[in-house]
Amino acid sequence: MRIAIFTGSAVGAKETYTAGAAQLASHLAKAGHAIVYGGGKVGLMGVVADAALAAGGEVIGVTPKTLVEREVAHHGVTRLEVVDTMHERKARMVDLADAMVALPGGVGTLDELFEAWTWQLLGIHSKPVALYDIDDYWAPMRSLLDQIVAERFLGEEHLAALIQETDPDALIDAISRWSPPTQKWISPTPTE
C-alpha cells in the first residue's frame, strides 16, 4: 500500500512532532508500505523521508519545479517526480496513493488535507483520508470540525469518514477497514 503523507516543511515547536513523524514513517516502511510525500528535504517532510528510507522503505517525492530550483527537494528518495504546479503536485500525490494521512504542519498541510478530503466526499476518489495526531496537535481541528457538524455544514457520517488516530498500528488497521461514505450531493432514493 502507498500512503501519502501531508506534513510541514518546518519541524514545529515540539520535539515530539519530529519523533512522532519519524516513528510513523519507520513503522510504515517496516510494514511494507511505501510513502508518497511532497518531495522536500526540510522540516517534517525531510524527517518522514529519511526515517522511511533508513527503515528500508520506498519513498516517492512529488514536488513542483519551483521548489527544486529553491534547492529544497530531496534527491535521495527512491523516486522524485517534478511537476509544474502545486495543483499538479496534490493531484499526483492523491493519484499515486492508496490513502492520505496528515501529520502536524502548516497551511500547506491543511490545503492538502482539505482538498483530498473534499475530493473524497465528492466521489472524485474513494480513498481514506486521516489525521495522525501527535501530541494533540489536531485537537483544535477536531473541535472546529465538531462545530461545523453542529452547525450543519457537514454531516456526521462525513466527519466519521475522516480517520483520526494516534498509534501507527491503529492507523494502518483503520485504513484497511475503511469504507467510503455516501457521496455529498447524491440524493437518497425516495421512499413511498
- Contact in structure between 6 and 38 (CB atoms under 8 Å): yes
Question: Across-strand partners of 61?
Answer: 37, 80
pLDDT tens, residue by residue, 116-170: 999 999 999 999 999 999 999 999 999 999 999 999 999 999 999 999 999 999 9
Residues with Cβ within 8 Å of residue 14, at least 6 apart in sequence = 135
Nearest to 104 by CA among 142, 137, 144, 143: 137
- Does the pTM exceed 0.75? yes
What span, in angstroms and rounded, lies between the C-alpha atoms of 38 and 6? Answer: 7
